[in-house]
């Protein structure tokens, strides 16, 4: 049979002959006596790790993905143990794990039942909220499918041997947790960073602040892409910096324009998003990155590389794109967070600085936050160490693929220049639509998107376009209706404002 079961670890050596859910082990003389069919049986064929955990993960996935409906009475510990040829204790432990996530519950004398996973969502945004507004203006991840993973991690954190170290006055948290984080950053497309060099900040915003503050002085100019993440604006105000926008093309910021702006304004730093730029979704190709890195090395310009969406970029094998931090490590401050890949509420952000800037960044962090809240780091490390973080990322990528396919069915070639790997769309408008008028008219119809001018943080030309976030609402039906309304409006003539005389 394709399944080999050790005391604690299971490994499957070949797939089921039917290519579908595997029953493990096979029919034996005993099963020919036709015991009643089990209401649930795990497919362990692709799973590796301790038996109790992979059984728990299989159950969790089957419940969350709707393969085991709410109300199902699960097999007894004894029946499932016999069926899988494992100990009753293994099944008890697996069920306990899933019970801790709130996905199943025992009823004395009746058995163990599957609960409705949707009930666990704190605030499901399944359809339009009571206000009727469908908010596609926020680039937040849809969290409800990941509630069980978070619950399990929270429970497991209590047993971590490094938990108390995380609660001590360690500015950067325990090395064990930083090691997990550094490994995961590299595994999800980021640069290789020695754990000792990983500086922790409260979220991506805190990381951006620490990085920018370390390399600028009040009165300085900070270069930004012509359209950029609006979170940099309050930060610049706080630090007394003036933002200067640099022209972009369909491959990202233009190196010649960067060089010229840096010279003209005496700027020391550029804040830049090379991968899945927010809002345009552009990913800089390798050549553009190399030119920017060479420019930074030559001119002394510091690059503050924001990579919060990097984990969504999945190049074909052999075509991975280097980060700017990998190309110009001595000139780049790499900032990221787990807000888009895991949970914004963990506030786990990071800065990796070149050795000469490491102390400066650490000083800013010491002055502003002393040490970030390491409970978030502990949960992040637990999600990574248990493998749940990879599973969450896989779900996030699958959701992006699903939602982008839906958007492409409805909006067709209008999305030509917008990357299918992003959590949002960048949608150019046909004349005479202007982004403010289009956004206002759409809002009157109950749909909120963001006009391009919200991302124009410095003087310069603003394209007529809107950003539409796809993954922040739960219901695909609701999203489809909103996108259909949006497509209809795009095809209608704009109501031109009355001429002023």
Ligand X SMILES: Cc1ncc(COP(=O)(O)O)c(C=O)c1O
DSSP for 202-220, please give it: EHHHHHHHHHHHHH--TT-
Do 253 and 295 meet the contact criterion of CB atoms below 8 Å apart? Answer: no
In angstroms, give the least distance from the CB of 338 to ligand X.
7
Measuring CA to CA, how many Å separate 305 from each of 302, 337, 467, 486? 9, 12, 22, 33
Beta strands in 307-455 (DSSP E): 332-337, 348-352, 424-428, 447-448, 450-451
> Is 291 a residue that touches ligand X (CB under 6 A)?
no
Stretch that binds ligand X, among 62-70, 142-150, 336-344, 421-429 (CB under 6 A): 336-344
Q: Which is nearer to ligand X, 234 or 315 (CB)?
A: 234
> Is 380 a residue that touches ligand X (CB under 6 A)?
no
> Is 423 a residue that touches ligand X (CB under 6 A)?
no
Q: Which is nearer to ligand X, 63 or 302 (CB)?
A: 302
Q: List the alpha helices (DSSP H) in 36-157.
A: 51-64, 77-84, 88-100, 147-157
Number of residues that bind ligand X (CB under 6 A): 14
| Binder among 42, 117, 145, 203 for ligand X (CB under 6 A) | 203
| Binder among 70, 129, 171, 231 for ligand X (CB under 6 A) | 231
> Is 278 a residue that touches ligand X (CB under 6 A)?
yes
The phi, psi pair for 349, rounded to 5°, reads: -120, 160
Q: Which is nearer to ligand X, 139 or 216 (CB)?
A: 139
In angstroms, give the least distance from the CB of 379 to ligand X.
15
Do 111 and 76 meet the contact criterion of CB atoms below 8 Å apart? Answer: yes
The phi, psi pair for 129, rounded to 5°, reads: -65, 170
> Is 275 a residue that touches ligand X (CB under 6 A)?
no
User: Binding string to ligand X for residues 430 to 469, with x set by CB under 6 A, is what?
Assistant: ----------------------------------------
Q: Write out the two tokens for 279.
A: 């809002």
> Is 337 a residue that touches ligand X (CB under 6 A)?
yes
Beta-strand relationship, 221-225 and 269-272? parallel
DSSP for 27-52, please give it: --TTGGG-PPPPS-----TT--EEHH
Q: Which is nearer to ligand X, 52 or 455 (CB)?
A: 455
> Is 50 a residue that touches ligand X (CB under 6 A)?
no
In angstroms, give the least distance from the CB of 292 to ligand X.
17
Q: Which is nearer to ligand X, 47 or 347 (CB)?
A: 347
Buried b (16+ CB within 10 A) or exposed e, 72-110: bebbebebbbbbbebeeebbebbbebbebbebbeeeeee
Beta-strand relationship, 348-352 and 198-202? antiparallel
Region 242-271 residues binding ligand X, contact defined as CB under 6 A: none
> Is 230 a residue that touches ligand X (CB under 6 A)?
no
| Binder among 147, 174, 190, 349 for ligand X (CB under 6 A) | 349
> Is 204 a residue that touches ligand X (CB under 6 A)?
yes
In angstroms, give the least distance from the CB of 234 to ligand X.
12
Q: How far is CA 188 from the centre of its chain?
A: 10
User: Binding string to ligand X for residues 304 to 323, with x set by CB under 6 A, is what?
Assistant: --x-x---------------
Report the distance separating Cα 44 and Cα 61, nearest Å.
12
Half-sphere exposure of 23 (CA within 13 A, CB side): 12
Report the distance separating Cα 172 and Cα 346, nearest Å.
15
Q: Which is nearer to ligand X, 180 or 348 (CB)?
A: 348
- Torsion of the alpha carbons at 17, 22, 23 and 26, rounded to the nearest 10: 30
In angstroms, give the least distance from the CB of 352 to ligand X.
15
From the number of C-beta atoms within 10 Å of its C-beta (0-12, 13-18, 19+), residue 178 rates as buried
User: Binding string to ligand X for residues 132 to 171, with x set by CB under 6 A, is what?
Assistant: -------x--------------------------------
Q: Which is nearer to ligand X, 77 or 396 (CB)?
A: 396
In angstroms, give the least distance from the CB of 312 to ligand X.
12
> Is 273 a residue that touches ligand X (CB under 6 A)?
yes
> Is 229 a residue that touches ligand X (CB under 6 A)?
yes
> Is 205 a residue that touches ligand X (CB under 6 A)?
yes
Q: Which is nearer to ligand X, 156 or 364 (CB)?
A: 364
Do 335 and 211 meet the contact criterion of CB atoms below 8 Å apart? Answer: yes
> Is 303 a residue that touches ligand X (CB under 6 A)?
no
Across the beta sheet with 3-5, what order do the strands follow?
3-5, 9-12, 49-50
Query: Which residues in this chain contact ligand X in the complex, by CB under 6 A?
Result: 139, 203-205, 229, 231, 273, 278, 306, 308, 337, 339, 344, 349
């Amino acid at each position: 049979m394709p399944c080999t079961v050790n005391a604690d670890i299971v490994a499957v050596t070949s797939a089921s002959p039917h290519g579908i859910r595997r029953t493990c082990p096979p029919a034996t003389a005993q099963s020919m006596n036709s015991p009643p069919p089990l209401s649930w049986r795990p497919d362990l064929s692709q799973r590796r790790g301790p038996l109790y955990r992979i059984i728990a993960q299989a159950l969790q996935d089957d419940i969350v993905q709707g393969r085991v409906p709410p109300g199902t009475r699960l097999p007894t510990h004894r029946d499932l143990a016999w069926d899988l040829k494992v100990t009753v204790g293994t099944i008890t432990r697996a069920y306990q794990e899933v019970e801790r996530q709130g996905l199943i519950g025992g009823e004395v004398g009746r058995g163990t039942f599957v609960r409705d996973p949707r009930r666990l969502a704190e605030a499901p945004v399944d359809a339009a909220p009571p206000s009727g507004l469908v908010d596609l203006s926020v680039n937040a991840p849809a969290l409800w499918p990941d509630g069980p993973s978070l619950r399990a991690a929270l429970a497991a954190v209590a047993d971590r041997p490094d938990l108390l170290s995380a609660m001590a006055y360690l500015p950067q948290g325990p090395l064990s947790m930083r090691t997990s984080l550094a490994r995961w950053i590299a595994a999800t497309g980021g640069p290789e960073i020695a754990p000792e060099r990983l500086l922790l900040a409260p979220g991506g915003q805190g990381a951006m602040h620490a990085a920018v503050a370390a390399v600028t002085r009040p009165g300085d100019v900070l270069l930004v892409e012509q359209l950029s993440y609006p979170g940099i604006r309050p930060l610049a105000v706080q630090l007394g910096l003036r933002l200067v926008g640099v022209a972009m093309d369909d491959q990202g910021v233009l190196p010649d324009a960067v060089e010229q702006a840096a010279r003209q304004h005496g700027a020391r730093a550029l804040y830049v998003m090379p991968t899945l730029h927010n809002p345009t979704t552009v990913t800089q190709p390798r050549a553009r990155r190399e030119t920017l890195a060479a420019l930074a090395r030559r001119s002394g310009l510091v690059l503050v590389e924001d990579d919060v969406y990097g984990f969504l970029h999945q190049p074909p094998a052999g075509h991975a794109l280097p980060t700017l931090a990998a190309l110009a490590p001595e000139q780049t401050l790499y900032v990221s967070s787990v807000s888009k890949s895991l949970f914004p509420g963990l506030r786990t952000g990071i800065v990796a600085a070149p050795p000469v800037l490491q102390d400066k960044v650490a000083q800013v962090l010491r002055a502003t936050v002393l040490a970030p809240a390491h409970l978030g780091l502990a949960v992040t490390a637990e999600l990574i160490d248990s493998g749940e973080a990879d599973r969450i990322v896989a779900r996030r990528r699958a959701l992006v693929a699903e939602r982008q396919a839906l958007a492409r069915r409805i909006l067709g070639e209008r999305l030509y220049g917008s990357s299918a790997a992003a959590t949002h769309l960048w949608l150019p408008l046909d004349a005479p639509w202007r982004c403010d008028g289009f956004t206002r008219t759409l809002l009157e119809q109950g749909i909120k998107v963001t006009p391009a001018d919200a991302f124009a943080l410095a003087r310069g030309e603003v394209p007529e376009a809107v950003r539409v976030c796809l993954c922040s609402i739960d219901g695909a039906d609701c999203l489809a209706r909103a996108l259909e309304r949006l497509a209809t409006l795009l095809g209608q003539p704009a109501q031109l404002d009355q001429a002023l005389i």
